[in-house]
């Protein structure tokens, strides 16, 4: 039986540093690759490209992962930029096109951190451009090690995440933005104790987004590996 091919949308960096001779590289964090592999899937890294080529990329995969990274440009949710963030418009445009094609082709999508925010924006939702004025919970846990949980997770009764994390759990946190207005068609799957949305899903379209990083912790936290198992084998 053929393995499920999971496309992972890649990031770019212009200067990868001295170790890599300051080359420009396309990359994805290895946790996505290994998580998919250990769940029995076949990962395929999708480099940024022209939006009009998204159809061809998506046609070659069974499922799509939108990974973490830069902030989503406020122009895509009709706001003026109010904070200095890290943006990459080329990535926004290509991943929005990938999202569109995944829907057209009926391919499930798993979105992590920035990916969840982009998914919400694609469907007409909005984001909080910064979180410090909304909450006292620290959502950027650095320098706490990335594979250690740093705040509570409260799952909803109907969420697929309830079976993995139970009614309450603990997850890591590495984001400075978050969902403000949830897009239509989605349900809130989990929240933090401060009310911030931590996971969303659209069962009809087979879409799942989480704000934390299973890719950082799948080796040390069994529940994070269970997320990869669900994405590869059930989503």
| pLDDT tens column, 63-79 | 999 999 999 999 999 99
Which pLDDT does position 58 carry in this prediction?
A: 98
pLDDT at 229 over 80: yes
E-state strands within 34-104: 42-46, 63-66
Whether pLDDT at 113 is above 80: yes
User: Which two tokens mark 120?
Assistant: 């919400």
More confident residue, 83 or 43: 43
The answer to whether 219 and 147 have CB atoms below 8 angstroms apart is yes
Q: What average pLDDT score do residues 127-154 get? A: 87
Name the 3-class secondary structure at 73.
Answer: coil
Which pLDDT belongs to residue 176?
87
So what's the pLDDT on residue 41?
A: 98
In the chain, pLDDT over 70 holds for what percent of residues?
A: 100
Query: What DSSP string runs through 131-169?
Result: STTT-SS-SB-TTS-TTS--EEEEE-TT-THHHHH-SEE
- pLDDT score for 92: 98
Give the integer Cα–Cα distance in Å for 211 and 221: 16
Question: What's this model's pTM, rounded to 2 decimal places?
Answer: 0.95
Mean pLDDT for the stretch of residues 22-40: 94
CA atoms within 13 A on the CB side of 68: 19
Closest to 98 in 3D by CA, of 210, 9, 199:
9
Residue 105 has pLDDT above 80, yes or no: yes
Where do the domains of the chain lie, and which CATH numbers do they carry? 5-233 (3.40.50.880)
Q: How far is CA 122 from CA 107, 112, 125, 189, 192, in A?
A: 16, 14, 7, 18, 23
Q: What is the mean pLDDT of the chain?
A: 94
Q: Among 13-27, 85-99, 101-115, 173-187, whose mean pLDDT is lowest? A: 13-27
Q: By the 8 A CB rule, do 140 and 156 touch?
A: no
pLDDT for 231 equals 98
Q: What pLDDT shows up at residue 24?
A: 87
CA distance 10 to 35: 15
Is the pLDDT confidence value at 135 over 90?
no
Nearest to 57 by CA among 45, 69, 43, 40: 45
pLDDT of residue 133 exceeding 80, the answer is: no
Please state the rounded mean pLDDT for residues 168-186: 95
- Note the pLDDT tens digit of each residue in 211-226: 999 999 999 999 999 9
Distance between terminal CA atoms of the chain?
Answer: 18
Report CA-CA distances (Å) from 52 to 17, 104, 110, 123, 182.
31, 14, 22, 19, 27
């Amino acid at each position: 039986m053929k393995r499920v091919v999971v496309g992972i949308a890649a990031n770019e960096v212009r200067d990868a540093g001295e170790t890599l001779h300051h080359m420009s590289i396309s990359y994805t964090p290895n946790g996505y690759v290994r998580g998919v592999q250990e769940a029995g899937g076949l990962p395929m890294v999708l480099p940024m490209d022209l939006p009009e080529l998204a159809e061809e990329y998506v046609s070659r995969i069974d499922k799509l992962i939108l990974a973490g990274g830069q902030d989503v440009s406020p122009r895509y949710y009709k706001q003026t930029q109010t904070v200095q963030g890290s943006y990459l418009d080329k990535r926004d445009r290509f991943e929005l096109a990938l999202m569109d094609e995944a829907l057209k082709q009926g391919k499930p999508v798993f979105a992590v951190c920035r990916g969840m925010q982009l998914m919400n924006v694609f469907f007409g939702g909005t984001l909080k451009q910064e979180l410090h004025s909304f909450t006292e919970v620290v959502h950027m846990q650095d320098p706490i090690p990335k594979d250690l949980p740093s705040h509570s997770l409260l799952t909803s009764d109907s969420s697929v995440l309830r079976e993995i994390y139970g009614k309450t759990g603990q997850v890591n946190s590495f984001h400075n933005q978050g969902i403000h207005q949830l897009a239509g068609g989605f349900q809130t799957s989990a929240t933090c104790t401060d009310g911030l949305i931590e996971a969303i899903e659209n069962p009809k379209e087979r879409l799942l987004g989480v704000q934390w990083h299973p890719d950082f912790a799948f080796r040390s936290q069994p529940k994070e590996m269970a997320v990869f198992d669900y994405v590869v084998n059930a989503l």
